[in-house]
Structure 1
């Protein structure tokens, strides 16, 4: 068994695809529109779905915003340099919500950024 994907509901499909591809460097792996079901799916990731997990972005027609709730946490990405990753995100006009630095109770360097819908993305430095 392996994890195939994690699904996030988004309010603007193109804005989300742009964030995950242009800001975080993922590729758009596939996209399908389901007019009868009134939704569109897009899968983004760093590698083909046959070898790595992806993120499924789901846009439901007419829904521009979701309440994120208190159970969801974040998506974690390994990066070479969390400080540089934050600067790259900021340079593209996106939001850094926790600057790079050591964890409060450890030495691992982490940072958090936010996607256009408010989902948190953690950068964990190698």
Structure 2
């Protein structure tokens, strides 16, 4: 069982403001929407996103505007072409986006901005994937060995890259043989033994699988957490959690169709 990352979910306090930010500055378009009595989910992505590309899910809980960011959730990262980081960062600045960490402060290799809710958005240089498409999602983990073991044993992901410094390490995990355009999960491990607060502004990662019930059975055999099984989710999706409590959704899509089409 090895599925590509389908989307990453974040909660927002003002849906229209967030939609305007992502559609204006990252040129995203609405791919799908689910309206319930108490919440709205909107799925976004570039117009020309790859079949294996991941979407951004914005969740708006009706009447809720304040969320705790916590520090167990890190950021999403979006792509711009190699050598054009400065130009696209300046474009965002000209459009009035918050100046958080400019390219110079990041050694010219990447940069960061924030969306209206304070979610960090990293800008990375890649030669694959559509402009502004999701490259990876970063989460912080308390034990690198446990985290790497979780993604390799439970989801059959492979170790696709690492960055090690004096104080921390980043490990990138992705499905075996996934296209370069697929999103990765970045596991950040700080060597000082700190613990993290989950908060509620960050929601979950979602993995697309071929067969929901078969994938769920595999996870149970591999001793994954039984958080929300398919039956409790109307057999549309299911949830497990990793060793640090990050939620991971499993969902099944037919022929690449969105779960909740417009």
TM normalised by structure 2 equals 0.43
- 1:11 to 2:16 alignment: no
In the alignment, the residues of structure 1 paired with residue 73 and residue 104 of structure 2 have an alpha-carbon distance, to the nearest angstrom, of: 23
SS of 1:98's partner is coil
Q: 1:70 to 1:26 in 2, by over 3 A?
A: same
User: Alignment RMSD, CA only?
Assistant: 1.8
Further displaced range: 4-13 or 19-28: 19-28
Instruction: State whether residues 4 and 52 of structure 2, in contact with CA within 8 Å, keep that contact through their aligned partners in structure 1.
Output: no
**Cα offsets for 1:52-87 (capped at 9, x unmatched):** 210100000111121110111111112121211221
Instruction: State whether residues 78 and 125 of structure 1, in contact with CA within 8 Å, keep that contact through their aligned partners in structure 2.
Output: yes
In the alignment, the residues of structure 2 paired with residue 14 and residue 49 of structure 1 have an alpha-carbon distance, to the nearest angstrom, of: 26
Unaligned runs of 5+ in 1: none
Q: 1:49 to 1:57 in 2, by over 3 A?
A: farther
2:141 alignment partner in structure 1:
none
- 1:87 to 2:90 alignment: yes
Instruction: State whether residues 29 and 48 of structure 1, in contact with CA within 8 Å, keep that contact through their aligned partners in structure 2.
Output: no
Structure 1 stretches (4+) deviating beyond 6 angstroms? none
Q: 1:101 to 1:124 in 2, by over 3 A?
A: farther
In the alignment, the residues of structure 2 paired with residue 93 and residue 103 of structure 1 have an alpha-carbon distance, to the nearest angstrom, of: 20
Instruction: State whether residues 80 and 123 of structure 2, in contact with CA within 8 Å, keep that contact through their aligned partners in structure 1.
Output: yes
- Which structure has the greater CA radius of gyration? 2
- 1:34 to 2:36 alignment: yes
Q: 1:77 to 1:39 in 2, by over 3 A?
A: same
- 1:66 to 2:67 alignment: yes
- 1:101 to 2:101 alignment: no
In the alignment, the residues of structure 2 paired with residue 49 and residue 59 of structure 1 have an alpha-carbon distance, to the nearest angstrom, of: 26
Unaligned runs of 5+ in 2: 127-262
Query: What is the aligned residue count?
Result: 121
1:119 alignment partner in structure 2:
119
1:43 alignment partner in structure 2:
43
